Structure 1
Amino acid sequence: MKWLCGYLHSSRRPSPGTPIRPHKPSANSIPGVLIRLHNPIHCSGCPVEGEIRLVLWQLREDGIEHVRLELRGRATTRVTRGHPAQTETIPLVHIDIPLWTYEGLEDEPDLGHVLVSKSFSFQLPPELPPTLYNSGRTTEAEVKYAITVVGVRPEDPQHHRRMHIPIVVVPPSDNRQLLDVKARLSGTVTMADIVPWRTERAEKRIRRAPWGRHATAQVQLTIPDLSALPLYTKILFVIDILTTSPLLTRAKADTSSQHRPVFPAVPAEFTMLEFKLRRRISLRAGTLKDDVSSDVATFTKAALVISAVQAETPPSRWQPLPDADEKSAGALGRWVQRSSFRSTFQLACAPSFTTETIDCQYSLELTVPFAGAGNDVRISWPIRVSSGLDAPAARDKLDSPAPLLALENFLDLPLLYWDANVDEWDG
């Protein structure tokens, strides 16, 4: 990861007589401090490692005599559907590391060229919940972690300098099968080559109008047979759609066309469907409880998913009744239509988890539209989401395109999560 810095004039002190522009540090700034974390994603039970650089003359000019690091985490829930609203905060981790002190350097004749580099490591406790931000109309649930650099100013203790660096934490996957599958994936080996499939089906009798004859619509969703779906991994899926028309004559079936298909026509394009990942949060704040659901990703609107779609729409098939004369124009039968869509999606969200105040679960939601009121066919498939990691991960080691790794999309966290210019960690 790149260096994150406070206010930095230069690693060398200006020569005597050189004017220095007056500077008032921002709410999230320490003069002469740069910090870099080795990985963007950290696993509970594993170390958070990085490096910090200190320009000593700038620290001294700002009255800083000690520098320490703090790692903090907390889970906060808020429910406003009550009077009064209630908020509950549970501390998750609080670790302090002394990093540098001016003590012993009082007689140092010149600190103008001194640049101190130090490595640091925090050991995260096991079983920490993953980073999360979920906000609804009457609820808010947040699990947040941050490293704070504290510049201690003994002569002005009310105004110590602080620099906050929000971080991402996920539970490591304890599923050996999942880790083995991810390790075997490559450019030539896909998940379909090494994992069996599982399928969820839905069938519905539908009709174009209340007085019409019934037709049948069948929908199948197939994904890899894994106990949990991992983050930042291509997940193959197949959607199969099959419709069988009401009874009609062969002559009427033969007059159908692409522009006037027999009811119920199958969707010809993937974007006509609605396929998404939905999150359901159950939370408690004090004595108040609430549930909130939201869409995390809509795959039928995602450019990366759409660009990889393989669609198949085989020719429609006439299926005569067993005793019908198949060649007769008046023979009765049914018109069978099919379509199929295959692609991959990737998950970038907090893994499934449960704590005493937050329960976070997911489902795949598929809706296939058909003409007529109330005819849509739906599949709601509860799934578990896992980090798929057993150690901290570097950004370039994640098998994902750049848009999914961008800050505004990282683990479905809003830019507000990364706004370190807040005082919530102070004190």
Structure 2
Amino acid sequence: MAPQNVASPAFVLHFPDAVRVAGETIQGRVELDVASAQDEGIENLSVNLKGSIVTTIIETNFDGSDTKYERVIELIDIRKSLWERGTAFPDPGSHMLVLPFKFKLPRSLPPSFHLSVLHHKALISYTLEVVGSRPGLFRKDRMIRKVFPVLPAASPEQILAKKSLKKGWEGDWRTTFVERKMRPGIWGDYSHVRAEVKIPDLESFPRATALPLDLSFETRTKPMTRTAAPVDKHNKPLFPAPPTLSSDVKLFFEREASIYAEPKIGTAIDSFETHCGFGDPESSSVKSTINEAEWIPDPERKDYGVWKRSVRFETSVTLPFAPTFSTETIECKYFLNFAVSFPGIGNDLELHVPIHLDPAHACPSFAMNYADVPPEGPPPAAS
């Protein structure tokens, strides 16, 4: 009979909450009350290590019905017998047997992962199952099921990059920028806006580690006759004024996953708040520098020119998500997305920065924090 998720007082699983690293040996124990096991009719006890990738795409048909496409890839499926009735007994005066177990995780395991967007789902999960078998008609097996997170092991180079970031980055920086012409209405000359972000010049970044970033904006008004300051007669900033508050800047971490559930292929995109200070008027974690406005004269027209204004924001962002990975049925990519809205129609400025996340812990690791890895459910979505 197939095991059912029915708890039993006859046995208890001891397996501490911790992030496990691919390649390490995991250990735990089961405490069995032999007397209770006999009362419940448990004939044998086993522990199973399982891991799988499940991808699902649901397609809506013309008649409104849904067709479900699903692909399952087994990563691990190992069973170990711990006890059979009549083969082991507790010490005199005790009903308890302590049954230790251990498993060696394969080095090639992908990270734990959970995504659910509209008609696309993807799950990489790892579980321990302790099953008390109860043969007989209408008798459900007893089972304890525990899900635990797994991450790939970091290479020495990745560990070194993490140490460099933690000490304070002293290397080169990489710049990504976007430039746009815009105007507040449908007529008139164009103004100019440039946004750029600087991050450490690394090919990839360790997950769950503070990543410093430097974001700056520069705006130039449309050509105009010189004024005393970049404000109009009502003392309002001339278009387009750069954002001077970090709360005016929105920063989201975007996840893009290609999902394969033969014969269907789909792409799912979701985004999450970064909690690094941008978009939060109460935050003090972003350092801002507002430069004085500068008049740039037009070399060809006397008394004409533009006002240049610029602002710089400095902060750091921590990304506690699964490392970037690719499997037979899931390919996951990440981006940092910055957005600022300027007055007028279609004047939103967006800057997309690809981010490749690395594992951050070697194998084995003895000081990992369970909170560093997303839970089995999805992280909170951005509002």
The alignment's TM-score, normalised by the length of structure 2, stands at: 0.86
Q: Which residue of 1 aligns with 2:254?
A: 278
- CA separation of 1:99 and 1:257: change in aligned 2, threshold 3 A: farther
Q: Which has the higher strand share?
A: 2
Q: Which residue of 2 aligns with 1:97?
A: 80
Unmatched tracts of structure 2, length 5 or more: 62-66
Q: Tell me the distance in 2 between the aligned counterparts of 1:129 and 1:139.
A: 19
Q: Which residue of 2 aligns with 1:3?
A: none
Q: Which residue of 2 aligns with 1:37?
A: 15
Shift of 1:257: 9.2
CA contact (8 A) 2:340 2:348 kept: yes
Q: Which residue of 2 aligns with 1:59?
A: 37
The correspondence of residues 373-388 of structure 1 with structure 2, limited to 5 A, is 373-388=345-360
Amino acid at match of 1:260: K
Q: Tell me the distance in 2 between the aligned counterparts of 1:345 and 1:304.
A: 17
Q: Which residue of 2 aligns with 1:50?
A: 28
User: What percentage of residue pairs aligned between the two structures are identical?
Assistant: 25
- Corresponding residue to 1:319 among 283, 287, 296: 296
Shift of 1:298: 4.2
Q: Tell me the distance in 1 between the aligned counterparts of 2:290 and 2:50.
A: 54
Q: Tell me the distance in 1 between the aligned counterparts of 2:118 and 2:108.
A: 30
Q: Which residue of 2 aligns with 1:137?
A: 118
The secondary structure found in structure 2 opposite 1:86 is strand
The correspondence of residues 74-113 of structure 1 with structure 2, limited to 5 A, is 74-81=52-59, 83=61, 84-105=67-88, 113=94
CA contact (8 A) 2:247 2:281 kept: no
Shift of 1:253: 3.1
The correspondence of residues 363-374 of structure 1 with structure 2, limited to 5 A, is 363-374=335-346
CA contact (8 A) 1:152 1:160 kept: yes
Q: Tell me the distance in 2 between the aligned counterparts of 1:129 and 1:207.
A: 48
Shift of 1:82: 5.0
Q: Tell me the distance in 2 between the aligned counterparts of 1:258 and 1:293.
A: 44
Shift of 1:135: 1.0
The secondary structure found in structure 2 opposite 1:130 is coil
Q: Which residue of 1 aligns with 2:106?
A: 125
- Alignment of 1:414 with 2:377, yes or no, is yes
- CA separation of 1:254 and 1:147: change in aligned 2, threshold 3 A: closer
Instruction: Tell which deviates more after alignment, 289-298 or 114-123.
Output: 114-123
Q: Tell me the distance in 1 between the aligned counterparts of 2:38 and 2:82.
A: 15
Shift of 1:307: 3.9
- CA separation of 1:111 and 1:197: change in aligned 2, threshold 3 A: farther
- CA separation of 1:270 and 1:302: change in aligned 2, threshold 3 A: closer
The secondary structure found in structure 1 opposite 2:229 is helix
Q: Deviations over 1:279-315 (max 9, x none)?
A: 1111121211211111133445687994421111122
CA contact (8 A) 2:221 2:240 kept: yes
- CA separation of 1:213 and 1:308: change in aligned 2, threshold 3 A: same
Q: Which has the higher helix share?
A: 1
Q: Tell me the distance in 2 between the aligned counterparts of 1:413 and 1:303.
A: 27
Q: Which residue of 1 aligns with 2:127?
A: 146
The secondary structure found in structure 2 opposite 1:61 is helix
Q: Which residue of 1 aligns with 2:186?
A: 210
CA contact (8 A) 1:178 1:226 kept: no
Q: Tell me the distance in 2 between the aligned counterparts of 1:65 and 1:281.
A: 45
CA contact (8 A) 2:116 2:378 kept: no
- Residue correspondences, number: 370
Shift of 1:27: 3.6
Q: Tell me the distance in 2 between the aligned counterparts of 1:102 and 1:28.
A: 20
- Corresponding residue to 2:322 among 347, 350, 357: 350
Q: Tell me the distance in 2 between the aligned counterparts of 1:294 and 1:257.
A: 44
